[in-house]
């Protein structure tokens, strides 16, 4: 009864503090929702760079795997009973970055671009919902498919004026009292000379550190802190794109499943899981890699749904994006009203793998090579055949730029608009493939379109409607009975 009173008071406080925060957001019977909303187990999934275009493209692609008819095959997240739209702007920009967006979600307050869990002047730390959960006696896990000192995961455990100081952020991670970190590595290459890196710090602090599937599988629930990271990626700091994974690679879903096993306890847990490589793929305008990693992200969500099915009255699952990335559009001038999502299925490697395993060695070994020498590799990796004169001209120009040393490449506006700072040939290949499928891009950066937020479980109705990303913190905290955002002197 005491918990129910606390939760009721907290939710009412939010309703008074934020006009319309409950009743304008689609809660038909707010009193019933507030009285019954209790969450002992809370999952917060953040698809970095994921908005409706990324989800819709993935669902259309999945449909085309089994049908030639137009339609969609819904992801697990799209079938959640509560569905809302969320604004993403930061304190100083309409188009946010991940640090400001994740801080809003983690702390319930806006901050400036690049700031990690601090106020907009970067003078006061903001207590995160993960830290509040830990103080309430819950276990806490932070997972990501990219490096764990990247902006989104960092905003749940670290407090710093800039997202770019990876060493300081990883040092705070090593000294955290959280229970489980998993997914990507930390940036060991950012360790100052003469200083101990974060992984060695964690080992000194008694953490169990694992890097292989066999080590991960042997972990058993205990009071020992765990950092399970992926060490065999050719990208070093992150889980490989799904298109590039081998059969023995560890997936985000596996890390999520193990996290549930390790964190489950009588006091409950809070787990944040980021699908970070959706964003990275969209920055590079690689729809195939974005779609593959959206599916991988949804597979991790399915692990939480399986847990929910065992604890339906005590579990809350929230899924959102921190922002959209790339300005992905489901439509292209060259294909008009037609779509050909089956073409995306011809791609079997990411732009990043093509850079590393095709372009780099070719450029080193064939300084006088031609595009014709690479056409078989382009067909093998992306299924591009029957190239038109227009497409061949695009590839020829991109190839010439790719064969130049980066210092010799043009820095003009046209070059950026064509290639966005990526390998010219790789990004041109994905542009051609995506355009053939009926997809297009407007940016190599983030955009400000609202993102969807889905919820299932205790207090789910609070997440219906149209609201700001700061409200995700407020609604989740209300369901958990944690109260309002708290500033912390630092």
What does each C-alpha distance from 203 to 62, 225, 303 come to in angstroms?
42, 10, 29
Of 267, 269, 239, the C-alpha closest to 255 is 239
What phi, psi does 222 have (nearest 5°)? Answer: -165, -175
Compute the distance between CA of residue 327 and CA of residue 449 in angstroms, rounded to an integer. 9
pLDDT value of residue 231: 81
Q: Dihedral (C-alpha) 364, 367, 372, 376: value to the nearest 10 degrees?
A: -10
Compute the distance between CA of residue 144 and CA of residue 181 in angstroms, rounded to an integer. 8
What does each C-alpha distance from 264 to 257, 267, 303 come to in angstroms?
11, 8, 13
pLDDT value of residue 37: 65
How many CA atoms lie less than 13 Å away from 302 in the CB half-sphere?
A: 13
Compute the distance between CA of residue 300 and CA of residue 143 in angstroms, rounded to an integer. 11
Length of the chain: 490
Contact 34, 11 (CB under 8 A): yes
Contact 108, 470 (CB under 8 A): yes
Tokens representing residue 115 in the block:
């700031």
Contact 103, 153 (CB under 8 A): no
Tokens representing residue 174 in the block:
């090593």
pLDDT value of residue 431: 98
Contact 58, 75 (CB under 8 A): yes
Task: Give the angle subtended at the CA of 134 by the CAs of 131 and 137, to the nearest 5°.
Answer: 155
Listed in order, strand segments (DSSP E) in 244-334 are 269-275, 315-321, 324-325
Tokens representing residue 128 in the block:
């995160």
pTM of the model: 0.91
Which residues, in sequence order, are CB contacts of 415 under 8 Å at separation 6+? 401, 409
Enumerate long-range contacts of 337-340, CB under 8 Å, 24 or more apart.
338/438, 339/60, 339/70, 339/437, 339/438, 340/436, 340/437, 340/438
What phi, psi does 116 have (nearest 5°)? Answer: -105, 110
Of 467, 469, 462, 421, the C-alpha closest to 445 is 421
What does each C-alpha distance from 435 to 335, 338, 339, 342, 397 come to in angstroms?
7, 11, 9, 12, 18
Contact 187, 199 (CB under 8 A): no
What phi, psi does 321 have (nearest 5°)? Answer: -120, 155
Which residues, in sequence order, are CB contacts of 346 under 8 Å at separation 6+? 382, 383, 384, 433
Q: Digits of tens for pLDDT over the chain (490 positions)?
A: 444 434 434 443 443 344 333 323 333 333 334 445 689 999 999 999 999 999 999 999 999 988 888 889 999 999 999 999 999 999 999 999 999 999 999 999 999 999 999 999 999 999 999 999 999 999 999 999 999 999 999 999 999 999 999 999 999 999 999 999 999 999 999 999 999 999 999 999 999 999 999 999 999 999 999 999 988 778 768 999 999 998 889 999 999 999 999 999 999 999 999 999 999 999 999 999 999 999 999 999 999 999 999 999 999 999 999 999 999 999 999 999 999 999 999 999 999 999 999 999 999 999 999 999 999 999 999 999 999 999 999 999 999 999 999 999 999 999 999 999 999 999 999 999 999 999 999 999 999 999 999 999 999 999 999 999 999 999 999 999 997 544 554 3
Tokens representing residue 43 in the block:
């999952």
Which residues, in sequence order, are CB contacts of 361 under 8 Å at separation 6+? none
Of 273, 272, 269, the C-alpha closest to 311 is 269
């Amino acid at each position: 009864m005491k918990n129910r009173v606390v939760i009721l008071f907290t939710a009412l406080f939010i309703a008074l503090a934020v006009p319309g925060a409950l009743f304008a957001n689609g809660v038909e019977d707010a009193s019933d929702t507030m009285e019954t909303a209790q969450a002992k187990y809370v999952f917060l999934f953040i698809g970095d760079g994921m908005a409706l275009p990324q989800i819709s493209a993935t669902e259309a692609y999945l449909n085309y795997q089994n049908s030639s008819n137009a339609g969609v095959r819904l992801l697990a997240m799209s079938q959640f009973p509560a569905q809302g739209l969320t604004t993403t702007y930061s304190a100083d920009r309409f188009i946010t970055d991940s640090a400001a967006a994740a801080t809003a979600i983690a702390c319930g307050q806006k901050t400036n671009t690049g700031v990690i869990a601090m106020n907009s002047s970067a003078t006061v730390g903001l207590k995160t919902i993960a830290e509040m959960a830990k103080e309430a006696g819950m276990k806490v896990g932070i997972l990501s498919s990219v490096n764990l000192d990247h902006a989104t995961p960092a905003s749940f455990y670290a407090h710093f004026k800039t997202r770019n100081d990876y060493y300081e952020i990883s040092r705070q991670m090593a000294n955290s009292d959280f229970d489980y970190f998993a997914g990507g590595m930390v940036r060991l290459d950012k360790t100052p000379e003469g200083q101990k890196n974060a992984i060695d710090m964690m080992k000194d602090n008694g953490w169990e550190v694992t890097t292989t599937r066999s080590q991960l599988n042997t972990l058993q629930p205990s009071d020992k802190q765990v950092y399970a990271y992926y060490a065999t990626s050719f990208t070093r700091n992150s889980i490989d794109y799904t298109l590039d994974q081998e059969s023995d690679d560890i997936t985000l879903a596996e890390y999520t499943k193990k996290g549930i096993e390790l964190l489950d306890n009588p006091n409950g847990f809070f787990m944040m899981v980021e699908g970070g490589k959706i964003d990275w793929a969209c920055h590079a305008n690689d729809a195939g890699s974005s779609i593959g990693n959206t599916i991988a992200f949804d597979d991790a969500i399915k692990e939480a749904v399986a847990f929910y099915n065992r604890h339906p009255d005590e579990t809350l699952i929230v899924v959102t994006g921190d922002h959209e990335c790339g300005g992905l559009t489901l439509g292209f001038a060259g294909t008009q009203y037609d779509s050909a999502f089956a073409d995306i299925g011809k791609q079997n490697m990411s732009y990043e793998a093509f850079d590393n395993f095709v372009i780099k060695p070719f450029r080193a070994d064939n300084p006088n090579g031609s595009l014709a020498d690479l056409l078989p590799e382009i067909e093998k990796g992306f299924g591009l055949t029957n190239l038109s004169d227009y497409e061949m001209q695009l590839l020829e120009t991109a190839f010439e730029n790719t064969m130049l040393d980066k210092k010799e490449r043009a820095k003009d506006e046209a070059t950026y608009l064509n290639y966005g700072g990526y390998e010219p040939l790789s990004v041109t290949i994905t542009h051609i493939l995506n355009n053939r499928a009926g997809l297009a891009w407007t940016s190599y950066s983030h955009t400000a379109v609202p993102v969807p937020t889905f919820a299932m479980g205790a207090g789910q109705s609070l997440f219906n409607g149209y609201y700001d990303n700061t409200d995700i913190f407020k609604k989740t905290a209300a369901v958990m009975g944690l109260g309002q955002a708290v500033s912390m002197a630092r």
